[in-house]
Amino acid sequence: MVVDVSTDGANLLVESPLTGDAPLWLIVENVGPIAAAVAWQEQGRVGLCFLEEQEWVHQVCKQRFDPAAWLKSN
């Protein structure tokens, strides 16, 4: 389960540790597969580092935290 996403990576809850150095792909609806690598692991959590910066995260945050967004939608 994805807990948090930033332009550089993601924080996941996992049932078992990830093993090996195989490339990972995080699948996000309406975005597509995102190439990533494991940055850290601890007790059911995994931090992923995206191999490329994700501009879509900037756009989502900008829309979500725009204090005037409710004016634009009316």
Q: Does residue 16 lie within any of the structural domains?
A: yes
Domain extent at residue 65: 2-69
Q: Does residue 17 lie within any of the structural domains?
A: yes
Q: Does residue 74 lie within any of the structural domains?
A: no
Q: Which amino acid is at 37?
A: A
The Cα–Cα gap between 17 and 45 comes to 8
Residues 46, 51, 55, 56: what is their CA dihedral angle, to the nearest 10 degrees? -50
Question: How many domains does one find in the chain?
Answer: 1
Burial tier of 30 (Cβ tally within 10 Å: 0-12, 13-18, 19+)? exposed
Closest CA to 34 of 21, 61, 53, 16: 53
Q: Does residue 27 lie within any of the structural domains?
A: yes
18-72 pLDDT, tens digit per residue, is: 887 778 999 888 888 999 999 999 999 999 999 988 888 877 777 776 667 666 6
